Structure formats: C-alpha cells, structure tokens
Structure 1
Amino acid sequence: MFYNFFIPGGIGGDAYKVYILNKKFKWSIKKLSAAVLLDRFIGLTAIGILLIILLACVPLVIKLNLIWAAPFVLILGVLGSYLFTKQMFPSFLSVYPKTLLLSVCIQLLQCICLVFIVKSISPVETDQYITYVIVFLISSVLSVFSFSGIGVREMIFYQASSLFIFNSTTAVTIGVLFSIITAFISLFGFIFHVKKPELKCINTNYITSLTRFVQ
C-alpha cells in the first residue's frame, strides 16, 4: 500500500513487488507480472460484484422493478470473470475463488470505512449511504489513472453531488478524508521500507505449489 500510494499511477507497489520477488526468489518476471495483472482484475471483479448488489438496492431500480435482473447479472459477471481467468491465467485458476473472496472482503471493509466517514460528517438517509458507496466504488476503479486516486476521487464525488443531489462540499470532503486516512495508514509501510526485513518462505507446501506457477 505504501508504494501504491506514493508512486504515481497507483501501481507502483505492484511493480516493486514483481522486482523484489524476482530478485529474491528468481521467479519469472512474466509470471509475476501475470499474477499482478490477475490480482488487479480480481479486484475489479470484486468491485463489480458489490456494485451490482448495491445498485439492486437503489430506490429507482426497485421502483422500475429491475431488481430481478441483479442475480442474473451477478452470476454472469462472476462466471465471465472465472472463464476469463481460465483462458488467460490458467496457472492461477486454483487460487481464484479464495482470492476473489478475500478481495470482496477487502472492498467491503473499505465501503464500511466510507460509511463511517459519511456518518461522522453528516448522517444521511439509508439510500444516500448506498449512493455514496456506489460513487466511491466507481472512483476506486478510475483512481488507478491518477496519483493514488487524489483528485480523481474528489472530482467524481463532486460531479456525483449534482447528479444525485447531495451537498457538494460534504461529498468532496468525504473523498479528501478517505485519501488522508489511506495516506496515514500507508505511512506505516515506510518502516518496512527502511528496515527491509528479509523475505522468507513460511509455508513450504504453498510456496512449492506457487513456484510451479511462477517459474
């Protein structure tokens, strides 16, 4: 997280991870890069899953009686993601379910964090919490094209405030606070950067299996 936040583009930590693992364990850069790309793709899938679930709870969707489509879109999305992984990253297919589950949990925790931020600033109706989280998830996807999401997230919240009719100042403040909290937590990674702890294989069975993938 430290490198992803403080290196432009939001993928600095991924590049550094590939470099370190290749240097330490001599694993193939090509396979390590594939693992990083798959990790990003699964993260996108997790965001998509949460977006579909949340959109099904939006009053307009319920009013238009479109909620029935959510399970079908959800199943098709996950199935499509699985088949894409099977086709493009077959070596990592066995870890796909666990990785997707962990990714959904991580994204869900971030959504909960956002809800607490909104609640601390200006408590709103339940449907507005859902709207804020939807906007946040969309901004998470687009933030990869900026310096750690700074600017892009705030802009999306600002634009969404006029679309969904909520206070623009509150919306931008939420984006800024989330970025500040992320920056603060990321700073703990500087300790590991300075101390540079030695990387070790602590699960030999798992590493042996993983080595077959990345060599």
Structure 2
Amino acid sequence: MNWKLLIKVLLTGLAVYLVSTRIDFPALGVWIAAVPVPLILVSFLLFNLSKIVGALRLNLFFRAENMRLTTLQNLLLYYKGMFYNLFLPGGIGGDGYKIYLISNTLGNSWRYVFKAVMWDRVSGAVAILFLSAVLMLLVPVTYAYSFVLWPTVATAILVFPVFYLITRWISPSYGAITISGNLLAILIQLLQAAVALIIFRGLEIAPAQMGEYMVVFFISSLASILPITVGGVGIRELVFLTAARYTAIEPNKAVAFSLIFFALNAISALAGAFITVNLQKPQPKSEVVS
C-alpha cells in the first residue's frame, strides 16, 4: 500500500466515523427503504444519461488534441474509467487508465491526453461552481450572511468569463470548444440535479426546503471531486451534516440521500468491470501507385 492510498484510507475512515457519530442508523434505514423503487429506477436512468453526456464532452477535448476515438470507443472508455476510479482508487485510477491506454495505443503523447482529461474535469467543476452560486442566490439564507452573498454574486457573474480567458491563455486549441463544452457541463449537472430532486422527493423533503438541499448537493458534488478519500466516500455526507448546523436540513435524510446517490454511482460504475476497450492505432495511408 503506497502512502497516498494510506492517507486516503485514513481520511475515509475519519470521515465515516464523524458521520456515524451524528446520525440515527435505524432512522437512516427507514428513510432509505421509504424511497419508492420507481423513483430509484428513474434516477438511475438519468444518472447514466448524465454520464453519457459526460463522455461526449470528454471526446470534445480528445478531438481537440487530435485523438480520434469513435463515440462508442469513448463511451466504453469512460465507463471503464468510472470503474477504476471507484473500485481501484489506489492503483492506476480511471484517469490514469485513459491516459495510459490512449497514449500507448493511439500514439498520442501522454501530456496531451493528461491535459484533455484534466481540462474536462476543470470544465465540470466550473459548471458546478456556477450552478451552486446561482442556486445560493435563490435561497434566503444566503442573504443573512454578507460575507457569503457578495462572493456568490461575483462567482455567478465571473466564473465562466474567467474560465474562458484562462482556457484561451493555457490551451488556445480548446478555445473553439469552450462554449459547447461549458453547455454540456451545465447539462450534465442539471441531469444530476434532476436525480437529486427525484431522490429528495422520495425522502419527502418539503418543497420549501428543496432549495437548501439542492445548494448543498452542488457544494457536496464540488467537494467530492477532491481526491482525498477512497471513491469520495464520506465527503458528501460530511458536507450535508455540516450544512445541517446552519440550515433546516435533516441529517438522517441528508445521509440517506448521499448513500442512495453513491449506490447509483457504484452500480453504474460496476458495468465498467465487464467492458473491454479496443482501440486501434491509425494505420498509415498506403501510397497509390500509378
């Protein structure tokens, strides 16, 4: 076990312990069981639709770096990466797998593959940040804290223009796809927001409280991107429990939601275990002999 994995395991254990001390396990089980199965199935379909759109967005960055993957190849690679990210976090990881496979099979430099994969992730984080800020401006509790209000306004207005300028500066080749990539990133997050809304509905969250739950959902999604625990376990739950101190969020319902959302992710990612990704190195064009 390398030291990075050891730190992740320790942080995961700490996060799980902190969560376990603040919830009522019998009540948690009741709320999870109370969510109707049809709502879970619809959530599962929408979640995977968001992943399909995510694969399409990633392929925009690949093609900008002259990596020619078919839509099917890229989708299979995306799900394989999901499996590695969630179930093998201490090994090569999903991003590492993509970088290794493409650079060794298609012959592209690993640096360009790395840049495409990382910029895809940054694009997703920017979309989450934007939607979080917009939702926070719609929730009354934001206006009770001036030190939160004005940074939130600035974020909602500036995050995409600043990201565009940084993109043009760091990687001009991505300039042409920045708008389409951002739109797809927003669509992905809106689909995942729909998943959250459906689960919240199944947990009988009151409509008046839904805004606060959605704000915390987006913030927790941003926090779960950080590679500090195994598979992001415990981070989303801690964000919800911390927010519960300042809002009307009910801790047991929040953790029930987090566990259901994680289960949707885990079941979807498990498909990657049965997927084989076949990439073929481009063959040189044969010369025509007259």
TM-score with structure 2 setting the length: 0.61
Pairing 1:75–2:146 present: no
Could you say which structure has the greater relative contact order, defined with CA pairs below 8 angstroms and 6 or more residues apart? 2
* 5+ residue gaps, structure 1: 202-206, 208-215
Q: Deviation of residue 155 (structure 1)?
A: 1.4
Alignment of 1:21-100 (within 5 A): 21-61=102-142, 73-100=155-182
Alpha-carbon separation, structure 2, partners of 1:55 and 1:15: 35
Is contact 1:2–1:189 with CA below 8 Å preserved after alignment? yes
Amino acid paired to 1:79: P
Alpha-carbon distance in 2 for matches of 1:41, 1:97:
14
Distance 1:116 1:41, change over 3 A: same
Contact 1:162–1:168, Cα closer than 8 Å, also in 2: no
Secondary structure of the 2:108 match is coil
Over aligned residues, Cα RMSD in angstroms?
2.8
Contact 2:129 2:222 in 1 (8 A): no
Residue type of the alignment partner of 1:106? I
The structure that has the greater radius of gyration is 2
- Structure 2 vs 1, CA of residues 75 and 106 (structure 1 numbering), >3 Å: closer, same or farther? same
Determine what percentage of the aligned residue pairs are the same residue: 32
Measured after TM superposition, the shift of residue 51 of structure 1 is 0.9
Specify the alignment match of 1:135 in structure 2: 216
CA distance in 2, matches of 1:40, 1:69: 23
Indicate whether 1:146 and 2:226 are aligned: no
* Structure 2 counterpart of 1:159: 242
Structure 2 unmatched runs, 5+: 1-81, 283-290
- TM-score, normalising length from structure 1? 0.81
Whether the 8 Å CA contact 1:157–1:168 is kept in 2: the answer is yes
Q: How many residues align?
A: 198
- 139-148 or 179-188, larger mean C-alpha shift: 139-148
- Give how far 1:109 is off: 0.8
8 Å CA contact 1:52–1:70 kept in 2: the answer is: yes
**Separation of aligned partners in 2, 1:70 and 1:161:** 20
